[in-house]
Structure 1
């Protein structure tokens, strides 16, 4: 029935700041298109071939469109096969990262985006 997780919406304070974070600090690619006079559809993904993407949507706009919408941050876990390399690169790019944790089931660390939302990056081998 369901084959993939296609898109995850991330509500942000400012689309352009979020775009800058995801493209410049995280190395994601961005696709955007106008969706009316004051809004643009924006998606970021790790690379051109990635199926899953984040929809970057402004909190204020969503709250105007739907006052009952939950614009809280989802719990998102991203994957890598080279955790130490990713950790070092993100620190070098100025991303706020937590401690690299080594657990019996794998390595991981948390990081924050431009709005202070927390994500987890986990090594999958």
Structure 2
């Protein structure tokens, strides 16, 4: 099942400016940073090395190009599990509306909707 609140995606106008804000003004650490292809970078910041939950600083325009219906006006919540297949089966068995499991370079994940149609992601993480 879901073990942790893993990541909260903040949609930003400029990743470098956002990274500077969180690291220089709030003293967060860059916990993960990786180029994900041309013009795309995955950046995660957190308050300490031991804190599991991070903010993902994601470019608004890239998200809109990837999904024109994405709501980039508010943060996106990514929940964490250590077993994506078991969690997927459990939620589906509980009659939760789930999307397909996506295999991404940075991990496997799937979306689900709550009773009001709000969408969340579940990602497999190793802790």
User: TM-score of the superposition, structure 2-length normalised?
Assistant: 0.57
What do you get for the CA RMSD once the two structures are aligned? 1.7
Q: Where does the alignment leave 5 or more consecutive residues of structure 1 unmatched?
A: 77-125
- Residue 14 of structure 1 corresponds to which residue in structure 2? 14
SS of aligned partner of 1:68: coil
Aligned length: 76
Q: Where does the alignment leave 5 or more consecutive residues of structure 2 unmatched?
A: 78-127
Matched, 1:34 2:30: no
2:56 and 2:48 map into 1 onto residues whose CA distance is 14
1:11-36 Cα deviation digits (max 9, x unpaired):
00000000000000000011211100
Residues 36 and 75 of structure 1, relative CA distance in 2, 3 Å threshold: closer
* Structure with the largest fraction of strand: 2
1:64 and 1:27 map into 2 onto residues whose CA distance is 31
2:55 and 2:12 map into 1 onto residues whose CA distance is 11
